Structure 1
């Protein structure tokens, strides 16, 4: 089913419509579309879906309208933030989904997402916080290493989130993979968003994206308040595909060089090959040969493949700069943000955060007792 959805986005034949008369199949197809975040992308890139049965087509159009409305409202919020930061003399870069939306997508709303990410230098952090607070945004408890979330309630049904970063990668063990100053040095204009808006180079956007996807595969990501751990999400492959279509030889060289030097070659090659298989992404085989010649196992890939949060915490503590950083990391591990807790316990997502922490503590103790009982 995912392969057929990818084929539609790539301009292939519609080999799904014949099955959509069955309600159960139609519900499953719709579930996969939601998981992949591709409702508007399908409507725009696969005209054949406009002939699908009314039930699923109506859902597609409703989702697309919601995405378009969210995009308009969110853009207004983000533009105000960028303008105020610019006026305050704070340099920032737009990252991840929003950067991609305004760099490579014909319609920014096609790039479904739930927030925008901005990167500032740590020296600008207090000034940035002051600007956000003065604008009426509220800092939440959803904070991790090198980033924190700020929200703004529009009063018309949308609550917009700005994820503020002062580290490029949200894990101490991986912080040296991409440097803040490296990102600012390669700043690329985002004129479709705003005259002053900038992001990182297309190559660094891709490299940051593959790290993010690998972290999501182990830590999970939220789709409709459900924690997912799937790999190969189609909206992420579409990001890689559209970026690849605009790369210059210098961009490909940067991907190959950084991938090899910093242990990212295996995950870069995996994402690019997956995009090629799913969407027909054209790839320079000389670059792929360099990436695929690297060993699959290295400290970076070993960290990203750890299934144990405790094991990752051990590596992150070892990579932390000082005692204060280690204490903050331990507190964040003991008391993770609300969105993590809601995804971990979806049936109890309405509980107060304190009760969720207590439930997590007792569940962990019970699991430990059961394991000890079995061992005995």
Structure 2
């Protein structure tokens, strides 16, 4: 059953209804109540233009306004081109990382698109997500920089932000050393266990691996849960729909029982219910209801809300941390490393306490040469 707090995420506009029909195998013939711009805005916000392009039957295409046809086809072409660039980049990067003894697991869009979509470019992937061991972080980032990738100026640390983005041309690589930036889920899955169960991605070369089907599903669920309150996108929900739809009932039940042991069962059940409401995802509802009745209270279920203030999110984060970790987080937020401040303010000589003061006062920094080169 869908939690009441998530009801605002259900289809509610004519554009939502059109998208729902297009992606759930129903008639998606154009409705006079729709406007092309409204549908384009919805497809763009949910990052599903290429998917709708692939899913629409020929009889529906002929009823679409030309403006919408043009936009949808263009979005599919853009993703197909980006997929080629990402594939070439990953073949190069992953082989070198393997040779240097730094194993990499690809997360989210890349493994899901290759494993569950008819064609990988049907799934929008604005970046590539790479999970590494924390011990390999510096070496892997150095490798990317040797290959010409430019590091973003974002703040990173042990707890404050467990990822960094590096970009080369149109290819962006999000380097993660934790499965989640949120403490609620950061330890739900660990790299070594995921690596032991990894699955190859042959199209990306011999060094390309993604998580197992179970790990991919669990990660997709808690990743979506983290974003529900501020960035709900159907591209993530459709991943869950495809994964759940292809599992035998006993496989899904086994995965959900594991989710219960990881204390993320209610998150997974809510994602399944939301997926069924949008796309008609088939699963044994009575089994899910039974598991929900057996489940212990889970702190992670607090994420299941459409509107969470920054204060509420901070409170959830702190509740999941030990006192020692809270101190580390406070230190990383208030006193970030010197190299971050100097990158942010493009200033290699100013007295460091003054740069801290500028940040506390909310003064914007001058764009660094790295940032300028990406514009």
TM-score, normalised relative to structure 2: 0.76
Unaligned 5+ runs, structure 2: 1-14, 342-357, 365-375
* Aligned ranges 1:288-307 → 2 under 5 Å: 288-294=288-294, 298-302=298-302, 305=305, 307=308
The answer to whether structure 1 residue 204 and structure 2 residue 215 are counterparts is yes
**Aligned residues of 1:266 and 1:291 also touching (Cα < 8 A):** no
Give, in angstroms, the shift of residue 167 of structure 1.
0.9
The answer to whether structure 1 residue 121 and structure 2 residue 133 are counterparts is yes
Please, which of 24, 29, 34 is the counterpart of residue 39 of structure 2?
29
Per the alignment, residue 237 of structure 1 pairs with: 237
Unaligned 5+ runs, structure 1: 221-228, 338-353, 361-376
**Partners in 2 of 1:355 and 1:3 — Cα distance?**
45
Per the alignment, residue 173 of structure 2 pairs with: 162
Per the alignment, residue 152 of structure 1 pairs with: 167
Per the alignment, residue 82 of structure 1 pairs with: 94
Q: Which secondary structure does the structure 2 equivalent of 1:123 belong to?
A: helix
**Aligned residues of 1:202 and 1:247 also touching (Cα < 8 A):** no
The answer to whether structure 1 residue 178 and structure 2 residue 189 are counterparts is yes
The verdict on how the C-alpha distance between 1:53 and 1:313 changes in structure 2, with shifts beyond 3 A counting, is closer
Q: RMSD across aligned C-alpha pairs, in angstroms?
A: 2.9
Per the alignment, residue 216 of structure 1 pairs with: 227
Q: Which secondary structure does the structure 2 equivalent of 1:64 belong to?
A: helix
Give, in angstroms, the shift of residue 19 of structure 1.
3.9
The verdict on how the C-alpha distance between 1:202 and 1:331 changes in structure 2, with shifts beyond 3 A counting, is farther
**Partners in 1 of 2:359 and 2:137 — Cα distance?**
32
Give, in angstroms, the shift of residue 9 of structure 1.
1.7
Per the alignment, residue 257 of structure 1 pairs with: 257
The answer to whether structure 1 residue 2 and structure 2 residue 19 are counterparts is no
Give, in angstroms, the shift of residue 162 of structure 1.
0.8
Give, in angstroms, the shift of residue 248 of structure 1.
4.8
Q: Which secondary structure does the structure 2 equivalent of 1:174 belong to?
A: coil
Q: Which moved further from structure 2: 8-17 or 77-86? A: 8-17
Q: Which secondary structure does the structure 2 equivalent of 1:192 belong to?
A: helix
**Partners in 1 of 2:318 and 2:234 — Cα distance?**
33
**Partners in 2 of 1:212 and 1:76 — Cα distance?**
27
The verdict on how the C-alpha distance between 1:331 and 1:13 changes in structure 2, with shifts beyond 3 A counting, is farther
The higher-RCO structure (CA 8 Å, 6+ apart) is 2
The verdict on how the C-alpha distance between 1:15 and 1:180 changes in structure 2, with shifts beyond 3 A counting, is same
TM-score, normalised relative to structure 1: 0.76
**Partners in 2 of 1:356 and 1:30 — Cα distance?**
40
Q: Which secondary structure does the structure 1 equivalent of 2:164 belong to?
A: strand
Per the alignment, residue 65 of structure 2 pairs with: 53
